Amino acid sequence: MARKFLYLVALCIVLVIAAAFALALFPAQLTKWASVPSVAFAPVTPLEANAYEDPKMWYSRPGIGVSDPARWQPAYAQDGAAPAASAGTSADLVAPGRPAPPVRPFAVFFVHPTSYLSRASWNAPLENGGDAEAERIARIYLRGMASPFNAASEIWAPRYRQATMGAFLTDAPEGRQAVDAAYADVREAFRFFLSTVDPKTPIVLAGHSQGALHIKRLIAEEVKGTPAAARLVAAYVIGWPVSTLHDLPVMGIPACAAPSQTACVISWSSFAEPADPALVLDAYAAGPALDGKAPGTDPMLCTNPLTGMIGGAADKRDNLGTLVPDGTMEKGSLVPALVPAACDKRGLLLIGPPPEMGSYVLPGNNYHVYDLPLFWANTRADVIRRAAEWKAAN
């Protein structure tokens, strides 16, 4: 009996080692197998024209109160104080025991990243409260990624029938259909946002990953050439590639070349070193971009979040605060001077040796999940500064 037990233990060890080797050698194939739905694509019925009048269709919007995840405000760790503002930044940050800084008169439309991981359908459900796990993860994402924008007088973050993770891991037409269906919801939410916010109020568009993809398309289709373009403070298209040749011309607004510039695009994708971005670069090269073409080796737009400018490098001393999460990812604290930032020739943002941020680092030292938390305080300072510049110019 003891010998059989040892054989079983040995077999389990062999299986674990084999699985580890398989994941290391074939990460893309195994991730695709585990994530892409095997069910047929079910056409998504368009929402009613007034669907977003219902407060239940929003994670964040005016009037929600203390349960609004985007209004969460972290403090600095270990009773530290906010660092002194360096050139081009703002010291309007929060330290332990101090109230949150006052809000500014601008409105943010934020689209959360993919939180629906199920293979049961191509798009997340919304009815009956939606998928419980996807809803929980979405709120966590909003706490960490939308909260840098909480100096705004209004933050709007819609629930939408997001495409499942597997939709981005397949070339099958169902993947594109799922993304298009998700975008249709986001577009309806954005139209309601514009119809509700005072037309004199400047706006900020922001999103991460799938959310950034939808923001990029919104700018090209719903903002370019409209009155909304004149109200745009900046667009934070984070964690999704923006091609300088194939996306920006279609979007109709330039990249942010200076920390005081407005009506421009900010984008970065974070990797620790040594970085292995092959999977990301291959997917980006194959496209298509907004103009319908494959970007190939055209570099991505890389905004340095520590300087607010295109490209370049900045020391970690310029990092006003990284939001380091706890084990649950639901809480965290700000740690200044944790990581530097440098854009490489491919348009990737390199952050030096891998910082300890949690267990959600992707293969290749890809810090995708942490793109915004890594630069939480600088992002907050950046949007405050650009909103002030917009107000001064208008």
pLDDT at 83: 56
What pairing do the DSSP bridges indicate for beta strands 104-111 and 152-158?
parallel
Confidence of residue 280 (pLDDT cuts 50, 70, 90): very high
Domains held by the chain: number: 1
pLDDT tens for 341-351 read: 999 999 999 99
- For residue 356, the enclosing domain spans 32-393
Q: What is the pLDDT of residue 93?
A: 53
Point out which residues pair with 349 in neighbouring strands: 270, 343
Domain assignment present for residue 327? The answer is yes
Residues in the chain: 394
Residue 163 lies in a domain: yes
Assess if residue 16 is contained within a domain: no
Q: How far is CA 235 from CA 35, 199, 387, in A?
A: 30, 18, 12
Report if residue 25 sits inside a domain: no
The answer, yes or no, to whether residue 98 has pLDDT greater than 80, is: no
Give the mean model confidence (pLDDT) for residues 154-169.
96
1 inside domain? no
pLDDT at 92 over 80: no
The pLDDT of residue 298 is above 50: yes
Q: How confident is the model at residue 116 (pLDDT cuts 50, 70, 90)?
A: very high
Q: Which band of pLDDT confidence, cut at 50, 70 and 90, is reported for residue 227?
A: very high
At residue 82, the pLDDT reads 54
Whether pLDDT at 91 is above 60: no
pLDDT digits (tens, 9 = 90+) for 130-153: 999 999 999 999 999 999 999 999
Mean pLDDT of 239-265: 98
224, part of any domain: yes
261 inside domain: yes
Q: Give yes or no for residue 18 having a pLDDT over 50.
A: no
